Every structure is written in structure tokens, then in C-alpha cells.
Structure 1
Amino acid sequence: MNITPLVWIITIAVTIAFFVWEFFAHVRKPHEPTVGESARWSAFYIGLALLFGVGVGVFSGWGYGGEYFAGYLTEKALSIDNLFVFLIVMTGFAVPKMYQQKVLMIGIVIALIMRGAFIAVGAALIENFSWVFYLFGALLLFLAYRQAFAHGESNPADGWFMRLVRRVLPVSDEYDGDRLTVKKDGRRFVTPMLLVIVAIGFIDLVFAVDSIPAIYGLTEEAYLVFTANAFALMGLRQLYFLIGGLLERLVYLAQGLAVILAFIGVKLLIHALHKNELPFINGGEHVTFIPEIPIWLSLLFIAATVAVATIASLLKTRKDARGDALPVARHDSR
């Protein structure tokens, strides 16, 4: 793709404008969004992302269009996993519902900034060092293993990072609206709201580590990497309130994401072999006897995995709910 600096500037400016508009139109005044409001805006942002993908296909070719859609779908799935951790953070810190929008908005902006930095670093590494594909592939396989076999979700509110923050900063015991600091007895304290934002920022940094290598396994175009991430994060706040109750039912989401990360990891390793320049592998020559995985197969595999993980999760939780209700029904009938 031939993306001029002007296109980059316009894209970044429009992205910033969307977030600024969202803040002043929806987030500035604390309130809990209704299901209808969340559904409408979620549909709007998803539709906008799909429309952009069609535009990429029409104007730059459907090869790039396929790469964008595969990247967007992967980043959206990883973002939903991110939402699940956000939910744990909100619960752990007991954030009032009416202030959760602000926390999410700040967290999403931090996530976009983090990912933007990782995208720039990743693009520079890929441009200058072909062996980085080996590193990305190995990292994704490790992250896939960790994702698949993680035992339970720890509470970030009680993690080592937040304990360290509490030792450094004086923290008040209660929220004071959505304020980040409060003055008591002539001394300045940070509120739990600031701790929540710090926790989410740290989580965003961790998620960027698997997010960016994953999408670089689907496209080497930094512009597609950025736009797929931006569109995946847009509407994430509304999606949180729309599927907040559903998140707990996606019991196989972690396993589904592990399969996707492992698949992309293998794809990256195969690509690394095709671009191989390391002297201790095949004498520094390219290894081409293993065919690369085409983008259409990647898109199909990722979509199928997300669908299977979602359907299997809903069937499992429905079965468990029926099993829990059955003894009650029998007890009542006596």
C-alpha cells in the first residue's frame, strides 16, 4: 500500500476527533448508558469498521481488504478479552456504575496510545530485521499456551503492581465523584478512581504485547495495523455495557483466543522461514518448501474459531444453568 503522510495525518486526526466527540457528547456527564444506547452506538462503530474495510478492498485491492478484516476480527476478539479484565478491575475496585464510562474511555485512549507506540516499533523492526518474525511467532505461541492454561482470573486490584502503587501514593478510602485527587486535612490524596485508571493502563500495556505481534502476523502494512486497532477500540465502551452480563458466559473465550494466537504464531514462523536470513538456518537461505498460509484461510479460520468459542460457551453456560435449577425444582415438588 502506498499511504502518504497526508493520509496518515487525516486518519489520526479523525480518530482523535471521534474520541474527543465521544467524551464531550457521552462521557463528560456521568451516567449509566441504557442497553438501547449501547446497542445503537456499537452497531454504528462496527458498521463503520466494515465500511472502511470495503473501502480498503475497493481502492487498494481485496488482498489488503482481507488483511484488514482478518486483523480487525482478531483485534476485536482480543479487545473483548480485554473487556473481561476491565470488568474484573471495575468489580475489584467497586467502581460506581455511573463513573465506569469515564474509566473505560480513559482506558481505551491509553490502549490506543500504547498500541500506536508498539505499531511504530514493530514496523521499524520488520523493516530492518527479518528475524523478528521468529521472535513474534515464538512469543505468540508462548502467549497462546499461557492463555489456554491460565487457571482462573486474579484480581488486579490486589495484584503486586497495585500494592506497589499504594505504597508510593497516599490513597483515600472512598470515591469522591469522578475526581482523581482529593484534599483532606490539608493533605492531598489520590482517590480509588486514579488507582483504577493506573490499573487499566498497566493492563493495556500487557495486552499490547500480544495484540500487535498477532496482527503483524496477518499484515505487514502499518496503516492496516493501526486502523484495525483503532476500529476495534472504537465502540468498545458501548460494547462493555451491552454485553457486560454476557462476558461472564463466554467461558471458552480464553481457549478460542489461544487457538487464534497459536495459529497466527505458526503463520509467523512459516513467514519467517520464507524470509530467512539467519546463517544457522538453511545456510541463511530462504526456506520455501512449506507453503505460506493465505489470508483468506486466516480470515476463515479466525472467524470460525470465534464463532465456535462463542456458541460452545453459550451452550455450556445454558447447560450448567439448567443443571443448577433442576435440584431446586425437584425440592419444590415434594
Structure 2
Amino acid sequence: MSLTAPDETLTTAWETAVDDAPVALSARGELVAVAGAEGTVTVLDAARGTKIGAWELPGGALSVALAPNARALVATGPMGYALWRPEDGRTTVRETGRWSSAAAWADNDRVAVASGRRALVLGPDGKELWATAPAASTVTDLAWQRQGRRLAVAAYGAVRCHERHTTKPVVTYPYVGSHLALAIAPTGRWICSGNQDASIHIWRTRDGSELTMSGYPEKVSRLAFDDTGFWLAADGAPDVTVWDFSGKGPAGTAPRSLRCHETVTALAWRPGPAGHLASGGHDGTVALWRATSGRPQARLHPARTWDGDSAVAALAWAGPDLLVTAYRDGHVRAHRPPSRNAL
């Protein structure tokens, strides 16, 4: 590994390898979960990187999500989904035969899972609590609003919002196109979709007004709000774009541009309000950014970078002081970056 800023030490907390090509990461509490393309889900101790358990999701994996208290885990894939509980190692597999691309926890007791054209809301034991009515096409992403009281579901043509136990949507945000990623500001003010047509579409929840940021050279498949809800990071180009959602929002403004990778493969905001973003690329580079510094249209340079041995598959912060990186060759590394004040 090589640092571009040798005056600051980047500590490698641990390194391990998993027996699959990683596609997704989740970190909560004392656990890190790594989902592999062939369906192997490996659970690691966040402090030491030691293996706690592993199990298989038939048909392969696409995403993984630990509950906020890390007492349950959901993995999704092309053929269904599965739940795992670390306290007893019990795995509940649902081979539905339906594409399941995403899962999102509302709290410790409810998780939403994309399952074909519906979203299912499950308890931590895997029992179905309720389900949405079928959308026009396969659900591609979902997210919770209002502290878990409303579920937003993205499928071709619209983002539909459901209150608890309401199968039919209570609010529909139409958009003619295929949504690839969904991000909701922690403030609840904004719903954003990254789209196949190389755009970001935005709805203001207060009045349903809309805005489209188009002109990206590639499809936008990764979106992430920071903890303040004022900053949105997106891929869709060699540059990571960071949009300012404070005040009246991004209408009429330009983003900050973060260029380090030829192809962006992962984005993850450091927990807290400091505006630090980690990004990963197909070339194996991981970059740390002071992503909210400068002015609109500014081209920012990484505060720190380091190189891996293969493409970055996923990034996840295990708290503000530990960044976990999964590489396509199966290596998983945890680093302790400089403090938020020192970066």
C-alpha cells in the first residue's frame, strides 16, 4: 500500500480474506458483514477482523444490511433473501425466485426487502408483517422516511411512498425512467433517484416540486446523503459530484467535483457532520475527501489516498474512526484514517 500524504500515518487495523468476490458491505456496532457475488455472506468482528460466521444465499448476493443494533442481518440476491441472527447463528432463507436487490432497516424490529415487484416488511425473525401492492416493474431500491414511519419504493416510472401497513401508496412521485438508486435526506426534505438515463431526479417532499440534474456521462447508480442531509454525493462520471442541499436546495447551483478514479465503484460518508467522504475506484484506489470544502464548481483534490491490489467493491464506516474496504479479489481491510480534525 502507498499513501500520497506521507506526513500522516494511515493505520491498518486489520486485514483478512473472504472466500467469494465481495459485492456489498454493512457495518453496525461490533460487526461487519461482507456479501459475495456467489452468495457467501461472511460476518467479521469489526475491531479485529476475525471471522464470526458465514452462510450461503442461494443464487448469489446483491446487498447486505445489518440491523442498527447488529442483532440481525439481511442479505438479498437474484433468487430471494435471507435473515441471519448472530446470537444463535440461525439463518432463515426465502428462495422466492424473485429478484431482491435491496434491504433497509427502519429500526431494530422492521426491515424492508425488495422482492420482485413488491416490497416486503419483515420482523427480525423473518416473519412478513406487511407488503406493498405490486409496482409496474421490479423494485430496484427502497428507503425509509420519517424515522421509519413511511417507506419509499423505487420502480420504473415512479417512487411510491407507503405508510405502515398501507399496501397502496399514499404519495406517488412519477418519473418516466428506470431508477437505479434511491436516497432520502435525513431531514426528510428531499427524495432523490439516480437513473439509467444518466440523471438525478429530485422531489421536495413538502410540495412535490421537482428538479432534474442531467448531463452525466454515465448512469447514476450510487447516491448518498451525509448525516446532516445537506450534501448529496453521486457517481455517474469519473468525477464524484457533491451537491449542496442546504437552504433552498441545489436548483441553479453547481456541484463540487471530486476526481480521483476513472470509474467510481463505492461511496461512503464518514459518520458525523464533518463532510468527509470516502470513495473507491475500479483501479483499487481509495480516496478520502473534505468533500464540502471549496465553492460550487470547485475541483477538489483528495486529502488522502491509498492503493489496493484489485478493484474496490464496497466501502463502509464502522463508526467514525474505522473505514472498511472490500476488494474484488476477496481481501477486506480496515483502516484508521486521521481524525476528523486532522484530515
Give the TM-score category using the shorter length.
under 0.3
Tell me the TM-score normalised to structure 1 length.
Answer: 0.23
When Rg is computed on C-alpha atoms for both structures, the one with the higher figure is 1
- Whose helix fraction is larger, Structure 1's or Structure 2's? 1
More strand by share: 2
Q: TM-score, normalised by structure 2?
A: 0.22
